[in-house]
Structure 1
Amino acid sequence: MARLNREESQARTKSLLIEAARDEIVKKGFALASVRDIADAAGFSQGAFYSNFPDKEAILLELVQRHQVEERAKIEAALSHAPGDAAKAMAGIEKWAATVNSDPGFAVLAIELQLQALRSPSFAQGYNELNRKHRRALGLMVARLFELFGKKPPADPVEIAAAFTALGRGMALMSEAGETSRAGKIIVIFLKALIESAAETDS
């Protein structure tokens, strides 16, 4: 195996710390998951943690950003499955939807994030800005999908995207083991119903 250079080594350390933080916070909650716990779980010292992140809130924001970027990339890939072909685009969305909540721990983490935002104004500022950016990007994708079908979104596409995000998180908390695809199926049902009932765009 080739030896990692300094930048590659630092990137690997950050990724391992982020994954460890996710697991520790899901298991223990934000308050009880200490920096020591996170560093130990990742196989590093607390010094390694603080050389990459100033505190637990910073690592949480990094985790959120990475998750949102990955989610948008998956949806973008689904929409680009067959440019200009609405049916194939929807098929791509259905394929993506089957992976929604494949990580059941993220629903628990999402609650921890929201609670921390309510408790910490400094965290809330960064967290809410990431969410606004994410919703705007998802809203553009929702608008593109309706446009492919020649339909007008029945509401602000950003609000539609926010509603589906909330639905997915809620379903994740309600689902039992082995029901990871349930939320995606429900999202697709509602999405198809919205598109079907939407008014056609002016020709």
Structure 2
Amino acid sequence: MPKGPTKRRPQTTARLLQAAQETFAERGFHGSSIEVICERAGLTRGAFYSNFRAKEDLFFALFDLHAQRVVDRLTHAVDELDTAEDPVRTVLTHMGTVDETERRWYLLSTEFTLHAIRHPDTARALADHDRRLREEIVRVLALLFDRIGRRPTVDLDLLARLTAAVHEGSLAQSLVEPDRLAPEQLAVTFLPALLETVSEPVATEG
């Protein structure tokens, strides 16, 4: 039979993550102290340190939650590939989906990336989390090429990096000028031609 603290740990972690997400959104990563996050969660510093070592660990836990949302969207897109009239547009549209949660995450992740660039150990940890998410994007790209009957002629990891860069850069411009540029517009407009350029038709038998 699990002891009380063990059974309560998931709820405590969830409260801390929710409080961190809200506090980061309001104050930014550097402007959010552990004390304020704990106060918002209705928990003590002891509860925090029994779940996380530092504020950075909170960010990475939120990163994993965000990554799972991205993977879920991409998985849904993959499920639609067999019936989609335009598979490329289907995937790119799902990748470009932006709601308020995505907007808040972009602001936080951009600030944290700058923080990581200044701190090599943090940068390595961020790169590892990025790599795991990128592996899922590579999987989707491979399925997409197979669906449209083409074979990639470039490294899919590099292509995943490029598509992520287009998404993030487009999102930044869209947040600055929401009336001029939709979040997915650049990807949907230009990436289909790029995907064709970096691939070749799969030879059919006979």
One fold, TM greater than 0.5? yes
- The alpha-carbon distance between structure 1 residues 28 and 139, as it changes in their structure 2 partners (threshold 3 A), is same
In the alignment, is the contact (CA less than 8 A) between 2:52 and 2:58 conserved in 1? yes
- The alpha-carbon distance between structure 1 residues 171 and 40, as it changes in their structure 2 partners (threshold 3 A), is farther
Equivalence for 1:21: 20
Name whichever of 97-106 and 73-82 sits farther off.
Answer: 97-106
In the alignment, is the contact (CA less than 8 A) between 1:36 and 1:46 conserved in 2? yes
Aligned counterparts of 2:184 and 2:104: Cα–Cα separation in 1: 16
Mapping of residues 32-51 of structure 1, within 5 Å = 32-51=31-50
Name whichever of 147-156 and 177-186 sits farther off.
Answer: 177-186
Equivalence for 1:199: 200
In the alignment, is the contact (CA less than 8 A) between 2:150 and 2:202 conserved in 1? yes
RMSD of aligned residue pairs (Cα, Å): 2.8
- Give per-residue Cα distances to partners, 1:99-121, cap 9 Å, x unaligned: 23552111111212212212333
5+ long unaligned stretches in structure 1: none
Mapping of residues 62-73 of structure 1, within 5 Å = 62-73=61-72
Quote the offset at 1:176 in angstroms. Answer: 3.9
Aligned counterparts of 1:172 and 1:16: Cα–Cα separation in 2: 29
Equivalence for 1:182: 182
In the alignment, is the contact (CA less than 8 A) between 2:89 and 2:188 conserved in 1? no
Name whichever of 167-176 and 71-80 sits farther off.
Answer: 167-176
Give the partner amino acid of 2:150: K
State the TM-score, normalizing by the size of structure 1. 0.81
Name whichever of 22-31 and 146-155 sits farther off.
Answer: 22-31
Aligned counterparts of 2:29 and 2:145: Cα–Cα separation in 1: 39
Aligned counterparts of 1:85 and 1:73: Cα–Cα separation in 2: 18
| Fraction of identical pairs, as percent | 25
Tell me how many residue pairs correspond in the alignment. Answer: 198
- Give per-residue Cα distances to partners, 1:85-130, cap 9 Å, x unaligned: 5636446425524523552111111212212212333322221111
Mapping of residues 152-163 of structure 1, within 5 Å = 152-163=151-162
Give the partner amino acid of 1:201: V
Quote the offset at 1:53 in angstroms. Answer: 0.8
Equivalence for 1:146: 145
Secondary structure class of the residue paired with 1:30: coil
Equivalence for 1:93: 91
State the TM-score, normalizing by the size of structure 2. 0.80
